Amino acid sequence: MRCFVAIRPTEDALDRLQALQREIPAARLPPRENLHLTLSFLDDLDDALLAALHERLEAIRQPAFDVTFRGVDLFPGKAPKILYAAIRPDPALLALHGAVRRAAETVGIGLKRERYRPHVTLGRFNRPPGGLDADRLGAFLAVNAMLGGGFAVSGFSLFRSELGGGPARHTELACYPLGSVSEV
């Protein structure tokens, strides 16, 4: 089963992200229910690994925190395929990301060694936009380069992702609440 661990933005943040999506030219837009901040992509897991990971994720203790947007951007490089809302890599977010990675590695899940770039994917391109769409995308990026604000993070979730026949379908398998400072 294809799985990942992520933070679901608050309803207010989702409203704001969807408003941004409506301005993006020539992109495939993930539906509202698919907007998330990935902590770790796990790829395919069997039931035994999934159960072991679930136990490790339940054991993570960390206070709730806030995340902050830091603009919109594209990646990768010269032929961008993804437009995203960047998230400031604050210490609390990085600590949670690290705890999730350690939980996965402890149960034997091999993870790619990549630099963590916290973001919420807003749109995807089959090929880089050209002509008028490129101009509109450039204007969109310029206007939203300083996107600020953010949302409160009170927990994180384990999701299953199913591909085929349209956008991916994400199903929440488990939710793990974060605590107050006094509870941790």
Catalytic residues: 36, 119
Closest CA to 66 of 10, 122, 147: 10
Which value, in Å, is the radius of gyration of the alpha carbons in the chain? 17
* Tokens describing residue 58: 């339940």
CA distance 26 to 127: 10
**Dihedral (C-alpha) 140, 143, 149, 155: value to the nearest 10 degrees?**
20
**Dihedral (C-alpha) 33, 36, 40, 44: value to the nearest 10 degrees?**
20
